[in-house]
Amino acid sequence: MIIKFETKSQRVKGLSFHPKRSWILASLHTGAIQLWDYRMGTMIDSYHEHEGPVRGLDFHSTQPLFVSGGDDYKIKVWNYKLRRCLFTLTGHYDYVRTVEFHREQPWIISASDDQTIRIWNWQSRTCISVLPGHNHYVMSASFHPRQDLVVSASLDQSVRVWDISALKQKNANVGTSPGDEFLKFTQLNQEFFNSGDAMVKYVLDGHDRGVNYAVFHPKLDLIVSASDDRTVRTWKVSDQRAWAVDTFSGHTHNVSCAVFHEKKDMIISASEDKTLRFYDISKSQFIRSYKREYERFWILDVHPTQNLIAAGHDGGLIVFKLERERPAYQSVKNVLYYMKDKNMREVKNGKDTPAAILRKSWPGASRNMYFDPTMSFCILTSDHEGGTYELFEIKKTSSSSEEVQLKNPVRKGKALFAAFVGLQKYATLDPKDKKVFVHSTQSDRTKELNLTIGPVKRIFSAVSGRLLMTTDDKVHLYDLEQQKVISSVNAAGVKFAVWSDDNTKVALLGKHMITICDSKLDPLCSVLETIRIKSGAFDKDGVFIYTTLNHMKYCLPTGDYGTIKTLELPIYISHVENNAVTIIDREGVVKVITIDSTEYRFKLALAQGRTGDIKKIIGESKILGDSIIAYLQQKGYPEIALRFVEDEVTKFNLALECGDIKTASEVAQKLDKKECWNSLGLEALSQGDVTAVEKAYRRTKNIERLSFLYTVTGSLDNLKQMLKIANNRGDIMSRFHNSLFLGDVEERVKILQQVGQTTLAYITAKNHGLESLAQEIRNTLPEDFKEPEFDFKPSLFLPPVPILPGGNWPLLHTQEVDYTDVGEAVTELDESQFDQFGEGIEIPGATNGQPSALQPTKKAPAVSELDETGEEINVDAFDLIEMPADAQVSLTTSSNFVAPNTGRNIVDLWPLNSQFPGDHIAAGSFESAIEILQKAVGIKNFAPLKELFLSIYAGSNLLMPSTPNQPSIYIPLQKGRNENERTKDTALPKLAVPSLSDLQLQLKDALKTCSNQNTMQAGVDMLREIMRQLLFIPILTKKDEREVKETLSTCCEYVIAFRMEIQRKNIQASDTKKAAELAAYFTRCKLQNTHIMIGLNSAMAAAFKLRNFNTAAAFANRLLKLGPPEKIQKQAQYVVDEKQKNPTDEVTLDYDDRNPFVVCNISLTPIYAGSDKIACSYCGASYLPKHDGELCTICEMGTCGKKTIGLYQYANSFKSASMQEEEF
């Protein structure tokens, strides 16, 4: 029993499956009706018009209607599309127990506690018959699926079968309407006296207590009834009589409901004893049961077409099926093998034929089927007893035939999943211990795999000698020869693994997730679905076609996915060939579905850049709808969509996106909207299309921007026109700006006069030498006006005169692909078709293509002696060079053979494919490596790198001894696992450098060495060696760069610290003050806590000896916070106590504990925050600005104060964006 859907709610009293959609109605004891989608697991709607519990529900088979009946005595008919109640039927005088639509007539039948059954016409909204006869509550009533019968169950301990053929005949002959007075009288007569439209045909007695439910079999002449006597009974009904067939017991409380299964010979019963029980009616025996812990079961419903059952209980409802419906199948070399009713069948070339018959004792339905690569053995598994398998040997009917027969099982065992891992080996997964065993097909040898990956959930076949294993959240690829997991991928809940035909890709299918990987289990892409994924298969182009519960979809290798078609029922894909998809459904029927693959073929061609295929697909079909246009725009191909879109707004936006100013201008002309012209103007301005910018500004009447455009392009004539336009518009500011741009002083003076700035107008005219105009203005000024005096000589302020007016920016002409011109297929041409291309070459001495023996032939000139028109060239017309008589000249023959150029040495390609110095050193290009190191990290001193240069060069090249007297064979060592990965475009050397993890281990050793006073200098030397080696670590990602920088920073800090410590020990006897300062500086380095404690202890002791109790106490407090050993802790506490007695410092140190600082590593003095400083170009050590250009004393390689960008940024500045995207 597999639960597919479950809800939590109040008690469910009624259920009804929708006949076509994945919906179920549930009526609650609270009066609510809920509509659920059991596939999606979501509530679609709820209805709340009943008062009190709702007990009866039913969907109409064809109309968007459902009916409900409740304890408020009402029957309501609802339209779920309109989401409301259409009308209410009243007439019952007590609780309505069940309601049901007739499958053919517009009728509803209802059963009530008023001891009657009523039949209603829901179209006329009237009661057309009342069926009295029961003398207790009528608990259920339902129509026969094919005959004119009704069965009812009552608490009077009887089951009654009613004949309603007369009612059907009457309603077929007499039309009814709500206003017919005679009908009203007839209905009243039927209700009280029963006019005989329905009569009791049989009364079935046999239950000892009340009967709660009775229903007809969907196909057989059987009735099942459920009773409070804790039994379920079946009854046989014929035309003459009815009698009891079987009684099924086992329930320990009232049986509230019992129904027949639609497709199996089975009865399902629900009881208040909290169990569901399943009975086989053909064998009259109990099969199984299902029990809830706390909830009693009240109602059941069976889906009319699918193997689904719903049960309502005190806490909600469950939708379940009895067993898995996925057939066991496998496609081998375009032949489909599948299991159906214990028979193995094969489908080849569209023919479905039996292949083998299993023994009768085969335990249940097969779950999985596996074939070995040579089709010599087959494994079948089933769910019987937790999981069993049987290994069969395959016997072919003939040597040339592919028809197979299964011999008796070679081996049996416990396993739910199996996989062939070689020609004579297979693996099984123990269902209990979750251990994997490898077996031999030839003997009983069994070997358990020693796994450390945790409990294995499933196993799948992989390439020969390997096995896929799934755990809770990962899939692992296990190599049987190496006996270890060689790769893993994060993929939770994987249920199936589907390999492509060439075994280069595998799709890992989970419940809602698909992860596509290559054969090494490196992830390529993934798809997340909201609906359960059922199956899938790869086509020849690597596109994965898969199905969900209700859709067939595709997934491209790029990760793009989409929908191909909608499915009515779940199906399982076995093979995809072009547009034909071979599927098998849950009934074991194999079909070939034709799909439209145009969309995903177009997207695939687009992703792979196959222009010819793109043109062909566009020419053959009309796929460019809104979704494809949006896809093209999203993927950066707006120029393709532009040629096919019809909507003008969309076309305009696409034209702007791909920079097609011409098309955008044409569309903007049609739309003629201000926002379009503004957008066009911005894009055209960025491209330097002055003509389009001018047009856009003119259409939007943007005077200011238009004036500025004419100014920057030097269009003085147009600028003068703008001045006139501004004058006509009365725009003073625009006139003044244009006059400034033109250098028209007289116009500016006039403008200033018009706006009342007479004084300013006079000064402007005066300074620009316009004496007559200035005098006229002076006469209008007051007599006491005093001219301003300037300390400088005014000069004429005029804009520069353009030498050459600017136009549109020059454009590079690119070859565009015309996707609208779809060429026809190339066909062979006969000779007559060449005539349409012009005159052919007339061959001397030939007639109609045949040589003539009767006509004298004339020697034709050589081709080289003919000009373009075919005339013979006069050699005497050329100025010829005098050649020596004995000159030997070899003329080229007509073979046109040109010897190929010598290929480039692979080593020469290394520096071209990389900008990392290690790759250049390996190629022997030391000069370019030095240049890179100088530019990228500012290396000044290369002497410490000499040994590393030689080591890298020697380690990346191999010299193999040859035969005697012959030079050694030179072999460059390259990266890449195979020849395809070592192409000329990606050729790189295999560098003989330690990995970053190795350097980090060396770093730990160096720190241990530094901690020893006797080997401190050796530790510093080791740290500097690590810093040198970090220069040649290949940095491919941001993560690599970050880790290298962290390691370099650690080395730098420790060299700074221990270099000061070495200096302190050398001078502590002669210069105690400087020694104390160096000890204080040591405590400010970024070191591990252990080393910080050592430094703090030294600084505390040095300060205490100088009687600097305040400073010593500061070090002591920091030391105490780090938790030193007990002895050191006592000393620190003693220093703190002494500071309380004498809080003074006798010696002034160049050290401020409250002001952050770094140490200059040449002068060994602090550089406090806010002071100027410089850093080493490589390691980042700090220095005073006076040391700019000097050699760094920490790494002994870098340059103080030189600005650099780092190796990673320098190398990536030479890469294309696509290469960087591939790395990330």
Note whether 1100 and 1117 are within 8 A (CB). Answer: no
Q: Looking at the domain assignment, is residue 59 inside a domain?
A: yes
d(CA 503, CA 485): 19
Q: Looking at the domain assignment, is residue 1027 inside a domain?
A: no
Query: What is the side-by-side order of every strand in the sheet holding 107-112?
Result: 96-101, 107-112, 116-121, 126-132
Higher per-residue confidence, 189 vs 235: 235
Instruction: Say if residue 579's pLDDT is above 80.
Output: yes
pLDDT digits (tens, 9 = 90+) for 1099-1134: 999 999 989 899 999 999 988 888 888 888 889 999
The residue among 434, 460, 490 that closes a domain is: 490
115 pLDDT tier (thresholds 50, 70, 90): very high
Looking at the structure, tell me whether residues 657 and 606 fall in a common domain: no
Note whether 699 and 675 are within 8 A (CB). Answer: no
Q: Looking at the domain assignment, is residue 149 inside a domain?
A: yes
Q: Looking at the domain assignment, is residue 1112 inside a domain?
A: no
Instruction: Say if residue 918's pLDDT is above 90.
Output: no
Q: Looking at the domain assignment, is residue 1195 inside a domain?
A: no
Lowest mean pLDDT among 297-306, 625-634, 682-691, 894-903: 894-903
pLDDT digits (tens, 9 = 90+) for 611-620: 777 777 777 7
pLDDT digits (tens, 9 = 90+) for 980-1021: 555 555 678 888 888 888 888 999 999 988 888 888 899 999
384 pLDDT tier (thresholds 50, 70, 90): confident
Q: Measuring CA to CA, which residue among 66, 91, 94, 90 is closest to residue 80? A: 66
Instruction: Say if residue 687's pLDDT is above 90.
Output: no
Give 511's DSSP letter.
S
pLDDT at 1208: 65
pLDDT digits (tens, 9 = 90+) for 139-183: 999 999 999 999 999 999 999 999 998 888 887 655 444 444 444
Looking at the structure, tell me whether residues 43 and 63 fall in a common domain: no
Looking at the structure, tell me whether residues 81 and 114 fall in a common domain: no
Instruction: Say if residue 276's pLDDT is above 70.
Output: yes
d(CA 312, CA 248): 21
623 pLDDT tier (thresholds 50, 70, 90): low
pLDDT at 34: 95
pLDDT digits (tens, 9 = 90+) for 873-905: 443 443 444 445 444 444 444 444 445 555 567
157 Ramachandran zone, left/alpha/beta (phi>0; psi -120 to 50): left
The residue to which tokens 């598994």 are assigned: 381
pLDDT digits (tens, 9 = 90+) for 628-647: 777 777 777 777 767 777 77
pLDDT at 402: 53
The residue to which tokens 């093998």 are assigned: 337
- State the CATH number of the domain containing residue 193: 2.130.10.10
pLDDT at 669: 86
Looking at the structure, tell me whether residues 465 and 527 fall in a common domain: no
Lowest mean pLDDT among 507-511, 582-586, 1035-1039, 1045-1049: 1035-1039
pLDDT digits (tens, 9 = 90+) for 1125-1165: 888 888 999 999 888 888 888 888 888 888 889 999 999 99
Q: Measuring CA to CA, which residue among 590, 496, 511, 577 is closest to residue 549? A: 511
Looking at the structure, tell me whether residues 192 and 216 fall in a common domain: yes
pLDDT at 193: 46
pLDDT at 795: 67
The boundaries of the domain holding residue 675 are: 643-780
Mean pLDDT of 117-134: 93
The residue among 556, 588, 623 that closes a domain is: 623
The residue among 728, 757, 780 that closes a domain is: 780
138 pLDDT tier (thresholds 50, 70, 90): very high
pLDDT digits (tens, 9 = 90+) for 332-344: 877 888 887 777 8
Looking at the structure, tell me whether residues 543 and 505 fall in a common domain: yes
Helix (H) or strand (E) holding 912: helix 906-913
831 pLDDT tier (thresholds 50, 70, 90): very low
Token pair listed for 1073: 């003050």
Looking at the structure, tell me whether residues 213 and 237 fall in a common domain: yes
Distances in Å between the alpha carbon of 5 and those of 38, 320, 652, 1039? 6, 7, 49, 45
Number of domains the chain contains: 5
Task: Count, in order, helices (H) and strands (E) of the chain.
Answer: 29, 63
Lowest mean pLDDT among 192-196, 373-377, 925-929: 192-196
Instruction: Say if residue 1078's pLDDT is above 80.
Output: yes
pTM of the model: 0.57
Dihedral (Cα; 315, 320, 322, 324), 10-degree rounding = -140
Which residues contact residue 382 at a Cβ distance below 8 angstroms, ignoring those fewer than 6 apart?
Answer: 362, 363, 364, 365, 366, 367, 388, 389
Note whether 1070 and 1103 are within 8 A (CB). Answer: no
Provide the percentage of residues in the chain whose pLDDT is more than 90. Answer: 31
Looking at the structure, tell me whether residues 280 and 228 fall in a common domain: yes
1057 pLDDT tier (thresholds 50, 70, 90): very high
832 pLDDT tier (thresholds 50, 70, 90): very low
Helix (H) or strand (E) holding 109: strand 107-112
250 Ramachandran zone, left/alpha/beta (phi>0; psi -120 to 50): left
pLDDT at 275: 94
d(CA 927, CA 659): 44
Mean residue pLDDT of the chain comes to 82
pLDDT at 209: 93
Provide the percentage of residues in the chain whose pLDDT is more than 70. Answer: 85
252 pLDDT tier (thresholds 50, 70, 90): very high
Higher per-residue confidence, 698 vs 43: 43
359 pLDDT tier (thresholds 50, 70, 90): low
Mean pLDDT of 206-228: 93
Looking at the structure, tell me whether residues 268 and 349 fall in a common domain: no
Token pair listed for 177: 């309407």
66 pLDDT tier (thresholds 50, 70, 90): very high
Helix (H) or strand (E) holding 498: strand 496-499
Q: Measuring CA to CA, which residue among 143, 153, 270 is closest to residue 213? A: 153
- State the CATH number of the domain containing residue 529: 2.120.10.30
pLDDT at 822: 42
Instruction: Say if residue 119's pLDDT is above 90.
Output: yes
pLDDT at 731: 82
Mean pLDDT of 943-960: 87
555 pLDDT tier (thresholds 50, 70, 90): very high
pLDDT at 1196: 92
Looking at the structure, tell me whether residues 284 and 238 fall in a common domain: yes
Q: Measuring CA to CA, which residue among 107, 13, 14, 92 is closest to residue 60? A: 107
The dihedral sign for the CA sequence 511, 513, 518, 521? negative
Give residue 865's Cα distance to chain centre: 66
Q: Looking at the domain assignment, is residue 1012 inside a domain?
A: no
Q: Looking at the domain assignment, is residue 1055 inside a domain?
A: no
Looking at the structure, tell me whether residues 477 and 507 fall in a common domain: no
Token pair listed for 573: 């894909």
pLDDT at 362: 59
pLDDT at 341: 74
pLDDT at 893: 40
Helix (H) or strand (E) holding 270: strand 266-271
Query: Residue 394 class from Cβ within 10 Å (0-12 exposed, 13-18 middle, 19+ buried)?
Result: middle
pLDDT at 790: 67
pLDDT digits (tens, 9 = 90+) for 444-500: 778 888 888 888 889 998 888 889 999 888 999 998 888 888 999 998 889 999 999
- State the CATH number of the domain containing residue 761: 1.25.40.470
Q: Looking at the domain assignment, is residue 663 inside a domain?
A: yes
Looking at the structure, tell me whether residues 292 and 351 fall in a common domain: no
